[in-house]
Amino acid sequence: MDPLPATIDESSRLLAAKYQVTAWFYDLLDAPWERLYRRWRPKLLGDLHGDVLEAGVGTGRNLPHYPPTARVTAIDLCTAMLRRARRRAAQAHCPVELRQEDAIRMATIDDASQDWIVATFLCCVMPDHLQPASLTQFQRVLRPGGRFRLLEILYSRQPHIRRRQQRLARFVERVYGARFDRSTLQYVEEAPGLAIRRTTYLKDDTYLLIEGERVG
Protein backbone atom coordinates (compact mmCIF):
# COMPACT_ATOMS: atom_id res chain seq x y z
CA MET A 1 0.00 0.00 0.00
CA ASP A 2 1.25 3.49 -0.81
CA PRO A 3 2.26 5.47 2.26
CA LEU A 4 -0.27 7.89 3.72
CA PRO A 5 0.93 11.11 5.33
CA ALA A 6 2.02 10.53 8.95
CA THR A 7 -0.49 13.14 10.17
CA ILE A 8 -3.49 11.20 8.91
CA ASP A 9 -6.20 10.24 11.43
CA GLU A 10 -6.07 6.59 12.53
CA SER A 11 -9.68 5.88 11.44
CA SER A 12 -8.91 7.35 8.00
CA ARG A 13 -5.88 5.07 7.82
CA LEU A 14 -8.06 2.02 8.60
CA LEU A 15 -10.65 3.11 6.04
CA ALA A 16 -7.96 3.58 3.39
CA ALA A 17 -6.66 0.08 4.16
CA LYS A 18 -10.18 -1.35 3.80
CA TYR A 19 -10.67 0.36 0.43
CA GLN A 20 -7.26 -0.82 -0.71
CA VAL A 21 -8.87 -4.30 -0.72
CA THR A 22 -12.43 -3.29 -1.67
CA ALA A 23 -11.09 -1.46 -4.73
CA TRP A 24 -10.46 -4.79 -6.45
CA PHE A 25 -14.17 -5.63 -6.65
CA TYR A 26 -15.83 -2.30 -5.84
CA ASP A 27 -17.43 -1.70 -9.24
CA LEU A 28 -18.67 -5.26 -9.51
CA LEU A 29 -20.12 -5.23 -6.00
CA ASP A 30 -21.75 -1.86 -6.48
CA ALA A 31 -23.23 -2.71 -9.90
CA PRO A 32 -26.83 -3.43 -8.71
CA TRP A 33 -27.01 -0.04 -6.95
CA GLU A 34 -25.16 1.76 -9.71
CA ARG A 35 -28.09 0.98 -12.04
CA LEU A 36 -30.01 3.43 -9.85
CA TYR A 37 -27.19 5.91 -9.22
CA ARG A 38 -26.27 6.34 -12.87
CA ARG A 39 -29.69 7.91 -13.50
CA TRP A 40 -28.97 10.49 -10.78
CA ARG A 41 -25.35 11.35 -11.50
CA PRO A 42 -25.93 13.41 -14.70
CA LYS A 43 -28.65 15.44 -12.93
CA LEU A 44 -26.44 16.05 -9.89
CA LEU A 45 -23.46 17.23 -11.91
CA GLY A 46 -24.74 18.57 -15.24
CA ASP A 47 -25.08 22.22 -14.14
CA LEU A 48 -21.72 22.57 -12.35
CA HIS A 49 -19.12 25.07 -13.47
CA GLY A 50 -15.80 26.53 -12.38
CA ASP A 51 -13.51 24.87 -9.86
CA VAL A 52 -15.12 21.75 -8.46
CA LEU A 53 -13.70 19.64 -5.66
CA GLU A 54 -15.03 16.10 -5.55
CA ALA A 55 -14.30 14.48 -2.19
CA GLY A 56 -14.18 10.67 -2.01
CA VAL A 57 -14.14 10.19 -5.79
CA GLY A 58 -13.80 6.41 -5.45
CA THR A 59 -13.55 4.67 -8.82
CA GLY A 60 -14.61 7.87 -10.56
CA ARG A 61 -18.26 7.09 -11.30
CA ASN A 62 -19.14 10.78 -11.36
CA LEU A 63 -16.31 11.90 -13.61
CA PRO A 64 -17.88 11.27 -17.05
CA HIS A 65 -20.91 13.38 -16.03
CA TYR A 66 -19.25 16.74 -15.37
CA PRO A 67 -19.87 19.32 -18.12
CA PRO A 68 -17.04 21.02 -20.04
CA THR A 69 -17.60 24.14 -17.88
CA ALA A 70 -16.10 22.39 -14.81
CA ARG A 71 -12.47 21.98 -13.72
CA VAL A 72 -12.43 19.07 -11.31
CA THR A 73 -9.99 18.22 -8.54
CA ALA A 74 -11.00 14.78 -7.30
CA ILE A 75 -9.60 13.49 -4.01
CA ASP A 76 -9.65 10.16 -2.26
CA LEU A 77 -7.81 8.58 0.64
CA CYS A 78 -7.16 5.37 -1.21
CA THR A 79 -4.64 5.04 -4.02
CA ALA A 80 -6.18 1.80 -5.33
CA MET A 81 -9.52 3.58 -5.80
CA LEU A 82 -7.75 6.52 -7.46
CA ARG A 83 -6.00 4.15 -9.87
CA ARG A 84 -9.41 2.85 -10.96
CA ALA A 85 -10.69 6.42 -11.31
CA ARG A 86 -8.01 7.19 -13.91
CA ARG A 87 -9.86 5.46 -16.75
CA ARG A 88 -13.02 7.48 -16.03
CA ALA A 89 -10.99 10.69 -15.69
CA ALA A 90 -9.78 10.05 -19.25
CA GLN A 91 -13.43 9.86 -20.40
CA ALA A 92 -14.37 13.16 -18.75
CA HIS A 93 -15.54 16.16 -20.79
CA CYS A 94 -13.56 18.53 -18.57
CA PRO A 95 -10.09 18.70 -16.99
CA VAL A 96 -9.76 16.34 -14.01
CA GLU A 97 -6.91 16.13 -11.54
CA LEU A 98 -6.86 13.12 -9.21
CA ARG A 99 -5.12 13.48 -5.85
CA GLN A 100 -4.58 11.32 -2.80
CA GLU A 101 -5.89 13.56 -0.04
CA ASP A 102 -7.89 13.24 3.17
CA ALA A 103 -11.18 15.15 3.19
CA ILE A 104 -10.66 16.03 6.84
CA ARG A 105 -7.35 17.81 6.10
CA MET A 106 -7.26 18.88 2.45
CA ALA A 107 -3.70 20.04 2.99
CA THR A 108 -3.13 20.52 -0.76
CA ILE A 109 -6.31 22.54 -1.40
CA ASP A 110 -6.07 26.32 -1.04
CA ASP A 111 -8.45 28.46 1.00
CA ALA A 112 -11.43 29.85 -0.98
CA SER A 113 -10.31 28.11 -4.16
CA GLN A 114 -13.44 26.12 -5.08
CA ASP A 115 -16.82 27.08 -6.59
CA TRP A 116 -18.35 23.72 -5.79
CA ILE A 117 -17.85 20.71 -3.54
CA VAL A 118 -19.43 17.42 -4.48
CA ALA A 119 -19.43 14.25 -2.41
CA THR A 120 -21.56 11.20 -3.20
CA PHE A 121 -21.62 8.46 -0.57
CA LEU A 122 -18.63 9.89 1.29
CA CYS A 123 -20.20 10.88 4.60
CA CYS A 124 -21.99 7.54 5.09
CA VAL A 125 -18.48 6.05 4.98
CA MET A 126 -16.75 8.69 7.07
CA PRO A 127 -16.87 8.02 10.84
CA ASP A 128 -19.13 10.46 12.71
CA HIS A 129 -16.30 11.94 14.77
CA LEU A 130 -14.50 13.03 11.56
CA GLN A 131 -17.45 14.66 9.85
CA PRO A 132 -17.27 18.09 11.55
CA ALA A 133 -13.58 18.31 10.57
CA SER A 134 -14.39 17.56 6.93
CA LEU A 135 -17.15 20.22 6.95
CA THR A 136 -14.67 22.74 8.38
CA GLN A 137 -12.47 21.96 5.39
CA PHE A 138 -15.42 22.31 2.98
CA GLN A 139 -16.09 25.76 4.41
CA ARG A 140 -12.41 26.73 4.21
CA VAL A 141 -11.83 25.68 0.58
CA LEU A 142 -15.14 26.99 -0.83
CA ARG A 143 -15.20 30.55 -2.12
CA PRO A 144 -17.76 32.77 -0.35
CA GLY A 145 -21.06 31.83 -2.01
CA GLY A 146 -19.51 28.57 -3.24
CA ARG A 147 -21.94 25.67 -3.18
CA PHE A 148 -21.99 22.04 -2.13
CA ARG A 149 -23.97 18.92 -2.96
CA LEU A 150 -23.76 15.87 -0.73
CA LEU A 151 -25.62 12.65 -1.50
CA GLU A 152 -25.93 10.20 1.38
CA ILE A 153 -27.82 7.08 2.33
CA LEU A 154 -29.78 6.80 5.58
CA TYR A 155 -31.93 4.39 7.50
CA SER A 156 -35.54 4.60 6.38
CA ARG A 157 -38.34 5.22 8.85
CA GLN A 158 -40.49 2.78 6.88
CA PRO A 159 -40.27 -0.61 8.64
CA HIS A 160 -40.08 -2.80 5.51
CA ILE A 161 -37.21 -0.76 4.01
CA ARG A 162 -35.42 -0.46 7.34
CA ARG A 163 -35.60 -4.21 7.89
CA ARG A 164 -33.93 -4.75 4.49
CA GLN A 165 -31.25 -2.21 5.39
CA GLN A 166 -30.68 -3.84 8.77
CA ARG A 167 -30.09 -7.17 7.05
CA LEU A 168 -27.45 -5.53 4.83
CA ALA A 169 -25.87 -3.33 7.51
CA ARG A 170 -23.07 -5.65 8.69
CA PHE A 171 -21.98 -6.46 5.16
CA VAL A 172 -22.09 -2.80 4.09
CA GLU A 173 -19.99 -1.75 7.08
CA ARG A 174 -17.47 -4.55 6.66
CA VAL A 175 -16.93 -4.02 2.94
CA TYR A 176 -17.51 -0.28 2.45
CA GLY A 177 -17.09 1.06 5.97
CA ALA A 178 -20.52 2.61 5.37
CA ARG A 179 -23.33 2.95 7.91
CA PHE A 180 -26.94 4.01 7.51
CA ASP A 181 -27.03 5.80 10.88
CA ARG A 182 -24.54 8.63 10.35
CA SER A 183 -25.75 12.05 11.50
CA THR A 184 -24.50 13.95 8.45
CA LEU A 185 -27.49 16.28 8.11
CA GLN A 186 -27.12 17.36 11.73
CA TYR A 187 -23.38 18.02 11.27
CA VAL A 188 -24.04 20.14 8.19
CA GLU A 189 -26.78 22.08 10.04
CA GLU A 190 -24.31 22.80 12.84
CA ALA A 191 -21.29 23.56 10.62
CA PRO A 192 -20.13 27.18 11.02
CA GLY A 193 -20.11 29.09 7.74
CA LEU A 194 -22.22 26.58 5.79
CA ALA A 195 -25.96 26.97 5.15
CA ILE A 196 -28.29 24.30 3.84
CA ARG A 197 -30.49 25.58 1.00
CA ARG A 198 -32.38 22.42 0.14
CA THR A 199 -32.74 18.78 1.14
CA THR A 200 -34.33 16.29 -1.24
CA TYR A 201 -34.92 12.58 -1.02
CA LEU A 202 -34.02 10.97 -4.34
CA LYS A 203 -35.63 7.66 -3.40
CA ASP A 204 -37.95 6.77 -0.52
CA ASP A 205 -36.60 8.39 2.66
CA THR A 206 -33.18 6.81 2.25
CA TYR A 207 -31.16 8.67 -0.37
CA LEU A 208 -30.77 12.23 0.89
CA LEU A 209 -29.35 15.04 -1.23
CA ILE A 210 -28.10 17.96 0.90
CA GLU A 211 -27.44 21.18 -1.02
CA GLY A 212 -26.07 24.39 0.38
CA GLU A 213 -23.49 27.12 0.24
CA ARG A 214 -20.70 28.84 2.11
CA VAL A 215 -22.07 31.85 3.93
CA GLY A 216 -19.22 32.83 6.20
CB of 207 to ligand SAM, least distance (A): 12
Which of 96/126 has CB closer to ligand SAM? 126
List of residues contacting ligand SAM (CB under 6 A): 12, 15, 19, 55-58, 61-62, 75-78, 81, 102-104, 120-122, 125-126, 176, 178
Looking at the DSSP bridge assignments, the partners of residue 214 are: 194
Long-range contacts from 179-182, C-beta under 8 angstroms, 24+ separation: 179/124, 180/124, 180/153, 180/154, 180/155, 180/206, 181/154, 181/155, 182/123, 182/124, 182/126, 182/128, 182/131, 182/152, 182/154
CB of 86 to ligand SAM, least distance (A): 13
Which of 34/215 has CB closer to ligand SAM? 34
Query: In the bound complex, which residue of the shown chain has the CB atom lying closest to ligand SAM?
Result: 58
Which of 75/117 has CB closer to ligand SAM? 75
Which of 61/182 has CB closer to ligand SAM? 61
How many CB atoms lie under 10 A from the CB of residue 160?
7
